[in-house]
Amino acid sequence: MFEIFGCSMHQGVSNDGLKKCIDTLNETFCELNIKKIDEGICQEDNLPNLRNLNGVVKTCQKIAAETDRIIKSGKTPLFVGGDHSSAMGTVAGAHANSSHLGLLWIDSHSDINTDVSTISGNIHGMPVSAIMGFGNERLSSIYSEQPKVLPQHVVLFGVRDMDPLEKEIVERLNIKVFTYDQVMEIGVKKALGQAKKYLKGIDKLHVSFDLDSMNPELIKGVTVPVASGFDAEDVFLMFDYIIENFKLSSIDVVEFNPAYDTDGYTAEFTNSLLQKIMKA
Ligand SMILES: [Mn+2]
């Protein structure tokens, strides 16, 4: 059984539109009733390569504690966000309850920058490195000092935009990548079947779904859109397969930005995806 909660995290990309993501969903779809965790706001050191570091760390600690609590109560956390830096919190909470946690990162970006490779300084581009124990120590030691997921237990799924330095990190760590084109060529189900085989060493899976993995012509309410991407049918198929075939630890559905959701479809889609997961 899933327990839904969320955070309108925006400090990982400094975009004010994200601040309203949970309120917008709760007001538009009362039945969702997403329990809201407030962002932790801190005095900042104003590091250009780690923007809002203190606030991001403080917020992720809160998200991790709530994720941990939900799992220990026997339920499966379903987290709604907010910028993708929040996944450092959910994955840390999941790691506290799993000895070989796997990570399926469904995203148009690889989000694997570090404080050294970053161009923007936005922490929402760094969670995958931090989760594996690389990059800034404050980020990699959220909730526990241990790495949360081993590089060989990470799958990047649907990627179509990687910075050159991110490519270097992916190659150096030998991270498994399914680009969007590869997924479309072999089909969503077959690609996930290969991912499952690849992840044979894990005990539980954390799924982190970024709405920008989808086509921005359809899903306009995201902060960093990339041309092309999954449609609604692809994503529903994906979650059918995931729920049926993996032992799930926890799920994120993130990066809903109401400020860019000009036709309201991104909110509507997010609601139907969350409803579908909760009914599973
Ligand atoms: Mn992302």
For residue range 194-227, what is the model confidence (pLDDT) as tens digits? 999 999 999 999 999 999 999 999 999 999 999 9
Write the burial class of residue 244 (CB in 10 Å: 0-12 exposed, 13-18 middle, 19+ buried): exposed
- Mean residue pLDDT of the chain comes to 98
CA distance 225 to 168: 23
pLDDT in tens, 146-158: 999 999 999 999 9
Supply the pTM of this predicted model: 0.98
Write the burial class of residue 46 (CB in 10 Å: 0-12 exposed, 13-18 middle, 19+ buried): exposed
pLDDT in tens, 240-264: 999 999 999 999 999 999 999 999 9
CA distance 224 to 84: 11
Catalytic residue status for 153: no
* Alpha carbon of 107 to ligand 1 centroid (Å): 5
Mean pLDDT computed over 22-40:
98
The pair of structure tokens assigned to 106 is: 């469904």
Mean pLDDT computed over 164-188:
98
* Alpha carbon of 84 to ligand 1 centroid (Å): 5
pLDDT-above-90 percentage for the chain = 100
Tell me what pLDDT residue 67 has.
99
Task: Please pick, among 10, 95, 109, 206, the residue that the annotation labels catalytic.
Answer: 109
Catalytic residue status for 107: yes
Tell me what pLDDT residue 87 has.
99
* Alpha carbon of 122 to ligand 1 centroid (Å): 11
Nearest to 80 by CA among 129, 26, 135, 134: 26
pLDDT in tens, 44-102: 999 999 999 999 999 999 999 999 999 999 999 999 999 999 999 999 999 999 999 99
Pick the CATH number of 2-279 from 3.40.800.10, 3.30.300.20, 3.60.10.10, 3.30.450.40: 3.40.800.10
Task: Please pick, among 3, 83, 107, 261, the residue that the annotation labels catalytic.
Answer: 107
Task: Give long-range contacts, CB 8 A cutoff, 24+ apart: 36-41.
Answer: 36/5, 36/6, 36/7, 36/8, 37/5, 37/6, 37/7, 37/62, 37/63, 37/66, 38/7, 38/62, 39/7, 39/8, 39/9, 39/10, 39/11, 41/11
CA distance 125 to 204: 24
Could you give the angle at which helices 265-279 and 21-28 cross, rounded to 10 degrees? 80
Tell me what pLDDT residue 247 has.
98
Tell me what pLDDT residue 5 has.
98
Mean pLDDT computed over 261-280:
97
Tell me what pLDDT residue 42 has.
96
Catalytic residue status for 95: no
Tell me what pLDDT residue 136 has.
98
Tell me what pLDDT residue 179 has.
98
Q: How far is CA 202 from CA 110, 132, 142, in A?
A: 21, 14, 21
* Alpha carbon of 111 to ligand 1 centroid (Å): 6
Half-sphere exposure of 186 (CA within 13 A, CB side): 14
Where exactly are the structural domains of the chain? 2-279
Tell me what pLDDT residue 160 has.
98
Q: Which amino acid is at 81?
A: G
